[in-house]
Amino acid sequence: MITEHASVVLTENIPASGLEAGDVGVVVHVHREGKAFEVEFMSLDGGTLTIETLEARQVREARSRDVPHVRELLAA
């Protein structure tokens, strides 16, 4: 179960925000008992890139064997 402050991985691209599947975010709010989430995506220096409201199917909980990957955000 995904909870507030959990790290999550995006499962699909969000072109309007420049986000790609595999990007990592942090849940800042859980809606409707886990049917949707407010997820903050940040740069490595801690700056907020965007906060998105995402359906449960659009994210998965980060796993212990996941490896973060760095890429530059391209403006949409």
Answer yes or no: is 16 within a domain.
yes
pLDDT band of residue 2 (cuts 50, 70, 90) is very high
Q: Tens digits of per-residue pLDDT, 15-70?
A: 999 999 999 999 999 999 999 999 999 999 999 999 999 999 999 999 999 999 99
Virtual torsion, Cα 57, 63, 67, 73, nearest 10 deg: 30
Q: What is the pLDDT of residue 27?
A: 98
Cβ neighbours of residue 65 closer than 8 Å, sequence gap 6 or more: none
Tally of domains within the chain = 1
Closest C-alpha to 37, from 21, 59, 19: 59
Instruction: Give the CATH number, domain containing residue 28.
Output: 2.30.30
Cα–Cα distance for residue pair 53/40, rounded to 1 Å = 9
Q: What is the pLDDT of residue 75?
A: 67
Answer yes or no: is 75 within a domain.
no
The reported pTM is 0.92
Answer yes or no: is 1 within a domain.
no
Containing domain of residue 52, as a range?
A: 7-61
Answer yes or no: is 35 within a domain.
yes
